[in-house]
Amino acid sequence: MKPQFSIVGPVYNEEVLIPQFYERVRDVMNALGEPWEVVLVDDGSTDRTPEILDELHAQDPAHVVVLHFARNFGHQLAITAGMDHARGAAVIAIDTDLQDPPEVIPELIAKWREGYAVVYAVRVEREGETWFKLTTARLFYQLIQQLTSVTIPMEAGDFRLLDRQVIEVLCQMREQHRFVRAMVSWVGFRQVGVPYHRYARAAGETKYSFPKMFRLALDAITGFSSLPLKLATWAGTVATASGLLLALALLILRLQGKAPLAGQGLTASLVLFVGGIQLWMGGILGEYVGRIYDEVRHRPLYTVGEILRIEESKTGR
Ligand code: UDP
Ligand code: MG
């Protein structure tokens, strides 16, 4: 039977938490009394996660779908694969480390029934996050708001419900560098937030190191704004204008018989200043060109080693 609801959970080295996650999702979903499935995407885990997922599928084949990636592709691609393989009329993406409580899912579904196509969960409180993570996250959201034309609700992560209509559009957006939150906002439709309490990770460690967060931020900015490319024009204007003004000032001083600003110090600082701007612009160009290169190769977004799903086993795969 085709499920009404699909829960999509990215899983990377969550051996301690994944059985609990499944049990809590199962209890919540069974209470709703409609057909459901949970699509667990194993993002190349190196601990016992793959075996545990296989056991969960063996225990409850009617509900548990498992995708094993051939290697680690990252959180955003794991969510993408889950959405590609979900069949529900509504798809709910949720972290599997129990920071997002599955008990909130019925509230998201209630809003969906009211006619909203996207229901995102908004963190009213965040437990167990470092000061550094909270500050960088806030700065990042402010930057995105300034630089791009999409509005990503503050304090909304990837925990959200998406209607089939939205999923169909997302499945057509095959960009390599993905920031799913902004893509969802780009799609449009009626969107609404539901407040929730985000808990501290129940066990294990965050898999989002600072370099990973930095890359995600870069993907978000380059994916939705070309403003950084235009910085070159502004920086060039400022540098040229300063150069002209300086030359003029030197000329006037010379005509007045005063000693002009001279010396290697001034020259060196000018060279460094302009050289620095040029290198920065080269770097920004590189970020975009690199992404264009990734797109034109048209590689698949991820490689799936194995899919465990009840139909496939029935057809004797
Ligand atoms: N995750 C993943 N692949 C990765 C990193 C993380 O699938 O390369 C999953 C992880 O198992 C969790 C979710 O993405 O379910 C969020 O990751 P995490 O909790 O480490 O990030 P944080 O909540 O600290 O931002
Ligand atoms: Mg987490």
Minimal-distance CA residue to ligand 1 atom 14: 75
217 CA from centroid of ligand 2 (Å): 17
First to last CA, the chain: 19
Nearest to 161 by CA among 190, 141, 132: 190
Q: What is residue 314's predicted lDDT score, i.e. its pLDDT?
A: 47
Q: Which fold has domain 5-224+300-308?
A: Spore Coat Polysaccharide Biosynthesis Protein SpsA; Chain A (3.90.550)
Per-residue confidence at 128, pLDDT binned at 50, 70, 90?
confident
Residue 259 contacts by C-beta under 8 Å, 6 or more apart in sequence? 253
Domain boundaries, the chain: 5-224+300-308, 227-296
What DSSP string describes 79-114? HHHHHHH--SSEEEE--SSSSS-GGGHHHHHHHHHT
Q: What is the mean pLDDT of the chain?
A: 87
Per-residue confidence at 265, pLDDT binned at 50, 70, 90?
low
Q: Which amino acid is at 309?
A: R
Is the shortest distance between the CB of 97 and ligand 1 below 6 Å?
yes
Q: What is residue 124's predicted lDDT score, i.e. its pLDDT?
A: 81
Q: What is residue 261's predicted lDDT score, i.e. its pLDDT?
A: 63
Nearest to 98 by CA among 12, 13, 24, 6: 24
Give the number of whichever ligand sits closest to the CA of residue 208: 1
- Give the mean pLDDT of 171-193: 90
Higher pLDDT, 164 or 124: 164
For residue 235, the number of C-alpha atoms closer than 13 Å in the C-beta half-sphere is 17
Max distance between CA atoms of the chain, in angstroms, equals 95
Per-residue confidence at 246, pLDDT binned at 50, 70, 90?
confident
- Whole-angstrom Cα distance, residue 55 to residue 70? 19
106 CA from centroid of ligand 2 (Å): 21
Q: What angle do helix axes 210-224 and 264-296 make, rounded to 10 degrees?
A: 80
Is the shortest distance between the CB of 158 and ligand 1 below 6 Å?
no
pLDDT tens digits, 2-46: 899 999 999 999 999 999 999 999 999 999 999 999 999 999 999
pLDDT tens digits, 269-283: 778 778 878 888 888
Nearest to 283 by CA among 234, 232, 233, 224: 232
Beta bridge pairs of residue 91: 6, 162
Is the shortest distance between the CB of 40 and ligand 1 below 6 Å?
no
Q: Is the pTM of this model over 0.85?
A: no
Is the shortest distance between the CB of 206 and ligand 1 below 6 Å?
yes
pLDDT tens digits, 129-159: 788 888 888 888 888 888 887 777 777 888 9
2 CA from centroid of ligand 1 (Å): 28
* Token pair of 127 as six digits: 């437990």
CB 157 within 8 A of CB 181: yes
pLDDT tens digits, 45-103: 999 999 999 999 999 999 999 999 999 999 999 999 999 999 999 999 999 998 899 99
Is the shortest distance between the CB of 208 and ligand 1 below 6 Å?
yes
Phi and psi angles of residue 243, each rounded to the nearest 5 degrees, phi first: -60, -45
Q: Which of 266-270, 271-275, 299-303, 313-317 has the lowest mean pLDDT?
A: 313-317
Phi and psi angles of residue 194, each rounded to the nearest 5 degrees, phi first: -125, 125
Q: What is residue 262's predicted lDDT score, i.e. its pLDDT?
A: 64
Is the shortest distance between the CB of 43 and ligand 1 below 6 Å?
yes
User: What percentage of the chain has pLDDT greater than the value 70?
Assistant: 96
What strand order describes the sheet that includes 118-126?
A: 191-198, 118-126, 156-163, 90-93, 5-11, 36-42, 64-69, 304-308
Is the pLDDT confidence value at 183 over 60? yes
